[in-house]
Amino acid sequence: MTAKRAIGRHESLADKVHRHRGLLLVISIPIVLIALVLLLMPGTSTSVSVIEYTMKKHEGGSNSRGPKNYAVIFDAGSSGSRVHVYCFDQNLDLVPLENELELFLQLKPGLSAYPNDPRQSANSLVSLLDKAEASVPRELRPKTPVRVGATAGLRALGHQASENILQAVRELLKDRSRLKTEANAVTVLDGAQEGSYQWVTINYLLRTLGKPYSDTVGVVDLGGGSVQMAYAIPEEDAATAPKPLEGEDSYVKEMYLKGRKYFLYVHSYLHYGLLAARAEILKVSEDSNNPCIVTGFAGTYKYGGKAFKAAAAPSGASLDECRRVAINALKVNDSLCTHMKCTFGGVWNGGGGGGQKKMFVASFFFDRAAEAGFVDPKQPVAEVRPLDFEKAANKACNMRMEEGKSKFPRVEEDNLPYLCLDLVYQYTLLVDGFGLKPSQTITLVKKVKYGDYAVEAAWPLGSAIEAVSSP
């Protein structure tokens, strides 16, 4: 009986198809054509990578968690290691741990300072781990994710040496900690992840997530080893984004946050962090004097296990000549731009737009501006213009080493010989590299106000949000 009915229905369906074949043909031709065009279009499938997380609402039901969710994130940076502990409520709002919105601890040097001793490298995290774990209530520890994200220092070490260190860190966590380690909890972040987490951090703290892309802010993060830029772009621009250069991460990440889809342009430049750039700039002058070194200084600069001659010319430092060397080191003019518009080194600039109107610029940009005296280190943010870096550079390039302490009382002694270089590089990176106008206002950021508190403007919060919102 059942079989008979099925056959009967099958026959009548076939009859109908036969009867309406003309109409079906008319409908299907444009559909096939559209599918063909989409298939052949350059774009999204090759240049966009989808970030794997959504900021879920924790409103109960099967996905419900406890009232408080902790996350412990290690930032294994090139110049130091840091740990952040955050606590979120069910709405994914940050709630205070004791009297701050995060526990933040740091130490120097970073994991990459022990390239040949993975155990010692991992053990450098012990004091941070113990204090971080102690700040999480005992009963929540097995449910609390811990992640270790290494950045430019381990990236530059190469695969085998960095993998050995990461393995030693995994063992340390297993032996010493009761926190939850997910698969891939201990990794070298790729530059695009680092930049997109930083963008999530800042926009989360500014409460712009969930708003249209043009209400979000763009970010620049100048680390020791690498520098990242990230900002949201319109969907049309994402669809026509160029393919990345060989071996590079894709230019666009697709992200779902607070119910909205964002297309994030993100790029990380390895070797263009501030401490790495010093080496690049000193390499240009090889064994001779360098016009970026403060007048009266002669010494060596050590970076990444190598030593570079760092000696002032007898005639002293020169802002103009140092600018030329910095532009040269950035390869602004001598690399092929095969995209519509490039930043430097042949890298696509993302096309600009509303998501880049306001730029929040972090890490060494804030720190050097504070040391140079044009930003108050006690304030979480400061509005400046690229030309403030040039003005300070002019002063630094025209002083002698002996005058350093009185002209720049806040500069750390080890940084003094490189103050002209650092400030010139920062100006050059913003203006010649990223194409900002010298007079454009940018926000230097150390922390972002969140309610009555201020939270570090660093990528680990973006990673924590992902960790507590994944299933």
Ligand X SMILES: O=c1[nH]cnc2c1ncn2[C@@H]1O[C@H](COP(=O)(O)OP(=O)(O)O)[C@@H](O)[C@H]1O
Indicate the annotated binding residues for ATP: 224-228
Nearer to ligand X, 225 or 244 (CB): 225
> What is d(CA 171, CA 177) in angstroms, rounded to the nearest whole number?
10
346 binds, among ligand X, Ca ion, none (CB under 5 to 8 A by kind): none
78 binds, among ligand X, Ca ion, none (CB under 5 to 8 A by kind): ligand X
Determine, following the binding rule CB under 6 A, whether residue 386 of this chain makes contact with ligand X.
no
Contacting residue, 282, 326, 458, 464, with ligand X by CB under 6 A: 458
Contacting residue, 47, 51, 82, 132, with ligand X by CB under 6 A: 82
Q: How far is the CB of 364 from ligand X (least distance, A)?
A: 5
The closest of 311, 293, 290, 270 to 423, measured between CA atoms, is: 293
Restricted to residues 272-291, the positions that interact with ligand X (CB under 6 A) are: 273
Question: Could you tell me where the beta strands, DSSP code E, fall in 161-313?
Answer: 186-188, 218-222, 226-233, 252-257, 260-270, 298-303, 306-311
Q: How far is the CB of 110 from Ca ion (least distance, A)?
A: 10
80 binds, among ligand X, Ca ion, none (CB under 5 to 8 A by kind): ligand X
> What is d(CA 40, CA 17) in angstroms, rounded to the nearest whole number?
30
Q: How far is the CB of 131 from Ca ion (least distance, A)?
A: 20
Contacting residue, 156, 456, 461, 467, with ligand X by CB under 6 A: 456
> What is d(CA 408, CA 418) in angstroms, rounded to the nearest whole number?
12
Q: How far is the CB of 222 from Ca ion (least distance, A)?
A: 9
Determine, following the binding rule CB under 5 A, whether residue 242 of this chain makes contact with Ca ion.
no
Residue positions forming the annotated binding site: 224-228
Nearer to Ca ion, 223 or 244 (CB): 223
Residue 373, token pair as written in the block: 């005296």
225 binds, among Ca ion, ligand X, none (CB under 5 to 8 A by kind): ligand X
The closest of 221, 220, 81, 223 to 152, measured between CA atoms, is: 223
53 CB-near residues (< 8 Å, 6+ apart): 255, 256, 465, 466, 469, 470
> What is d(CA 411, CA 201) in angstroms, rounded to the nearest whole number?
28
> Is the Cβ–Cβ distance between 228 and 197 less than 8 Å?
no
Residue 89 backbone phi and psi in degrees, to 5: -90, -175
Nearer to ligand X, 77 or 145 (CB): 77
Nearer to ligand X, 78 or 318 (CB): 78
> What is d(CA 150, CA 136) in angstroms, rounded to the nearest whole number?
23
How far is the CA of 87 from the CAs of 92, 100, 263, 468, in angstroms? 9, 10, 28, 10
Which helix H or strand E contains 360, and what residues bound it?
strand 359-363
Determine, following the binding rule CB under 5 A, whether residue 404 of this chain makes contact with Ca ion.
no
273 binds, among Ca ion, ligand X, none (CB under 5 to 8 A by kind): ligand X
Query: Residue count at the site for ligand X (CB under 6 A)?
Result: 20
Q: How far is the CB of 189 from Ca ion (least distance, A)?
A: 10
Residue 22, token pair as written in the block: 């003309």
Contacting residue, 79, 193, 198, 216, with ligand X by CB under 6 A: 79
Determine, following the binding rule CB under 6 A, whether residue 422 of this chain makes contact with ligand X.
no
Residues in a beta bridge with 449: 454
DSSP string, 298-359: EEEEEETTEEEEEE--TT---HHHHHHHHHHHHTSSSS---SSSBSSTT-B-TT--GGGSSE
Q: How far is the CB of 306 from Ca ion (least distance, A)?
A: 21
153 binds, among ligand X, Ca ion, none (CB under 5 to 8 A by kind): ligand X
Check residue 434 and report its DSSP letter: S
Q: Which residue among the candidates 11, 100, 133, 194 is catalytic per the annotation? A: 194
Q: How far separated are the first and last CA of the chain, in Å rounded?
A: 47
The alpha carbon of residue 149 and the mean position of all alpha carbons in its chain are separated, in whole angstroms, by 11
DSSP string, 135-146: TS-GGGGGGSBE
> What is d(CA 27, CA 377) in angstroms, rounded to the nearest whole number?
66
From 22-30, 37-45, 72-80, 235-243, give the range in contact with ligand X by CB under 6 A: 72-80
Determine, following the binding rule CB under 6 A, whether residue 112 of this chain makes contact with ligand X.
no
Determine, following the binding rule CB under 6 A, whether residue 195 of this chain makes contact with ligand X.
no
Fill in the amino acid letter for 345. G
Restricted to residues 187-226, the positions that interact with Ca ion (CB under 5 A) are: 223
Determine, following the binding rule CB under 6 A, whether residue 197 of this chain makes contact with ligand X.
no
From 40-48, 136-144, 150-158, 406-414, give the range in contact with ligand X by CB under 6 A: 150-158
Nearer to ligand X, 201 or 318 (CB): 201
Binding mask 48-77 for Ca ion (x = CB under 5 A): -----------------------------x
Q: How far is the CB of 381 from ligand X (least distance, A)?
A: 12
133 catalytic? Reply is: no
The total of other beta-carbon atoms located within 10 Å of residue 368's CB is 24
Nearer to ligand X, 200 or 319 (CB): 200
> Can you give the binding site for Ca ion, defined by CB under 5 A?
77, 223
> Can you give the binding site for ligand X, defined by CB under 6 A?
75, 77-80, 82, 151-153, 223-226, 273, 363-364, 367, 446, 456, 458
- Catalytic positions, please? 194
